[in-house]
Chains A and B, each alone.
Chain A
Amino acid sequence: MSLLSAELLENIGRQSEPQRELVTRRDIRKYAVATGNRQRKYLDGDQAPPMFHVPLFWDVVELDQLSPDGVSIDTLLPKFPLEKAMAGGLQIEYHKPVHPGDWLTATRTLTDIYEKDGRSGPLIFYEVVMEVVNDDQELVIKEKTTRILR
């Protein structure tokens, strides 16, 4: 019997509110230092390194919205019948460079939920696609996250 009810699968296609954020030199510099980057253009904040969209669009929520383990609850996701998160995967396409002063907007979509049989029982996979566009609506970054629950 499938773990995935029709009701759960109806969440496929669900989309977040677009989130618009400003890229700053200071935030680029902090990220470059914190990741151990050795390239001058990133350490000086002249350009954003790959994966800078990760901190840029990380959810900023108020303290009482964090779970006791300090995690912000992803409101895009439905409640799954399995909850223990396993390794995840990330696919990222880079379409345009990112510089200080850029305004970027990210929209996240729950694009798939599916089930597979693992060695130690059923696994649920879900995929979230984040599209990042600039103010001219040009695609800058596209990211697909795959998460596995057991």
Chain B
Amino acid sequence: MSVALSVQRFAALRVGDSLPERDFECGNVQQMLYNAALWNGHRIHFDEPYAREVEGYPGLVVAGPLLGDWLHQCVEEWLEDDGRILSIDYSNRAACYVGEVVTSGGTIKALRPESKEADIDVFVRNAEGALVAPGTVVVRFGESW
């Protein structure tokens, strides 16, 4: 990483700039691998008759933290090595299901030139445009791990 280049990049940012959007679709295989990586045995994530008939969901529920991870990925792919995420604050507002295509993205909400920090409103939306996971990420340019 070149600090000078990352500082230049920060200077060119404007409030209202959008981050590139990315579509995510969690299929059955990814769903299994993710919950296995967590050691998450909650049946709503892999037992479809249980999810539908007992819990009343329309399908297998994508685990909430995976949507949080997608918010991070959206920001990190845009940030590259020019900075790092200092913090995130998000909520899981609606459920998302296996096989559903959702979109992550973000908009710059505030810039603090003195600390090279940016606040970014981030989101995961579903195909109907409903907010599944809204949040805010704070990033700092010129500092990378």
Contact = CB atoms under 8 A, between A and B. Distances in A.
Contacts of A31: 37
B85 A87 contact: no
Interface residues of B, number: 40
Contacts, number: 96
Contact of A54 (B38, B54, B84): B38
A91 B92 contact: no
22 contacts: A30-B33, A34-B30, A34-B33, A35-B69, A36-B30, A36-B70, A36-B73, A49-B76, A50-B85, A55-B37, A58-B39, A69-B42, A69-B55, A70-B42, A70-B43, A71-B42, A72-B41, A88-B92, A90-B91, A91-B88, A94-B84, A97-B145
A94 B86 contact: yes
Given A69-B42, A89-B91, A38 B73 contact: yes
Interface in B17-69: 24, 26, 30, 33-34, 36-44, 47, 50, 54-55, 64-66, 68-69
Interface string B86-102: 11111111100000000
A54 B65 contact: yes
A22 B5 CA distance: 36
A47 interface: yes
A69 to B, nearest CB: 5
Q: How large is the interface on A (under 10, 10 to 19, 20 to 34, 35 or more residues)?
A: 20 to 34
B109 interface: no
A58 B30 CA distance: 18
Contacts of A34: 30, 33-34, 36-37
A90 B72 contact: no
Interface string A36-74: 111100000001011100110011100000100111100
A34 B69 CA distance: 11
Interface of B: 24, 26, 30, 33-34, 36-44, 47, 50, 54-55, 64-66, 68-70, 72-73, 76-77, 84-94, 145
Leading 10 A-B pairs by shortest Cβ distance: A89-B91, A70-B41, A97-B145, A34-B33, A34-B34, A50-B72, A70-B43, A91-B89, A34-B37, A35-B69
A92 interface: yes
A93 interface: yes
A146 B39 CA distance: 21
A33 interface: yes
B88 to A, nearest CB: 5
